[in-house]
Amino acid sequence: MADLPTKLLVFTDLHLVNQGEDIIGLDPAARFAQGLHHALSQHPDAKRLVLMGDLTHQGRTAQYERLKTLLADVPVPVSYLMGNHDNRDVFRKLFPHAETTPSGDVQEMVDLGETCLITLDTLDPNADPAHSGALTAAQLTWLQNCLAWAEGRPVLIAMHHPPVETGFPGMDGIALRDPTELRVILNDYPGLVHVICGHVHRTISGHANGLSFTILKSPCHQQPMMLGAADTDHSVDEPGAYGIVLAGPAGFVVHTEDFAIAEAATPLRDPFSG
Contact residues toward Fe ion (CB under 5 A) are 13, 54
Give the nearest distance from C-beta 31 to Fe ion in angstroms.
Answer: 13
**Is the Cβ–Cβ distance between 117 and 110 less than 8 Å?**
yes
Instruction: Please state, in angstroms and as integers, the Cα–Cα distance from residue 74 to each residue in 12, 68, 78, 206, 267, following that order.
Output: 16, 10, 8, 31, 27
CB nearer to Fe ion: give 3 or 233. Answer: 233
Give the nearest distance from C-beta 71 to Fe ion in angstroms.
Answer: 18
Give the nearest distance from C-beta 2 to Fe ion in angstroms.
Answer: 36
Give the nearest distance from C-beta 12 to Fe ion in angstroms.
Answer: 7
Determine phi and psi for 209, rounding to 5 degrees.
55, 35
Determine phi and psi for 4, rounding to 5 degrees.
-70, 145
CB nearer to Fe ion: give 56 or 115. Answer: 56
DSSP H helical ranges for the chain: 28-42, 61-70, 88-94, 137-150, 169-172, 180-188, 259-264
CB nearer to Fe ion: give 13 or 258. Answer: 13
Could you give the angle at which helices 137-150 and 180-188 cross, rounded to 10 degrees? 10
Give the nearest distance from C-beta 221 to Fe ion in angstroms.
Answer: 9
CB nearer to Fe ion: give 53 or 154. Answer: 53
Give the nearest distance from C-beta 196 to Fe ion in angstroms.
Answer: 15
Which H helix or E strand runs over 48?
Answer: strand 48-51
Q: How far apart are CA 115 and CA 107, in angstroms?
A: 17
Give the nearest distance from C-beta 84 to Fe ion in angstroms.
Answer: 7
Q: How far apart are CA 113 and CA 23, in angstroms?
A: 40
**Is the Cβ–Cβ distance between 129 and 173 less than 8 Å?**
yes
Question: DSSP assignment of 190-231, as one string?
Answer: SS-EEEEE-SSSS-EEEEETTEEEEE---SS-B--S-TT---
CB nearer to Fe ion: give 54 or 147. Answer: 54
CB nearer to Fe ion: give 14 or 118. Answer: 14
CB nearer to Fe ion: give 5 or 198. Answer: 198
